[in-house]
Amino acid sequence: MDTGHKDPGDCYLIATARIKKVPIITRDTVMLDLASPEYLEVIVC
């Protein structure tokens, strides 16, 4: 899946959060746009 995110570090965080089923705490707009219950849980800080 193309997340639209260009930062490889953030891509690693997204993948890890999805595998481990843990939320990401962020202000990153791309991650916030990806947030959905079935894909990625994001908490806004």
> Among candidates 4, 12, 2, 1, which has minimal Cα distance to 32?
4
Residues 6+ apart with CB under 8 A from 28: 10
Confidence label for 7 from pLDDT (cuts 50, 70 and 90): confident
Is residue 42 within 8 Å of residue 26, measured between CB atoms?
A: yes
What confidence tens digit (pLDDT) does each residue in 31-45 have?
Answer: 999 899 899 999 999
What confidence tens digit (pLDDT) does each residue in 17-30 have?
Answer: 999 999 999 999 98
Say if strands 24-26 and 42-44 run parallel, antiparallel, or are unpaired. parallel
pLDDT at 40: 93
Q: What residue ranges in 1-45 does DSSP mark as E strands? A: 24-26, 42-44
pLDDT at 43: 96
pLDDT at 41: 96
How many Å apart are CA 34 and CA 15, to the nearest integer? 12
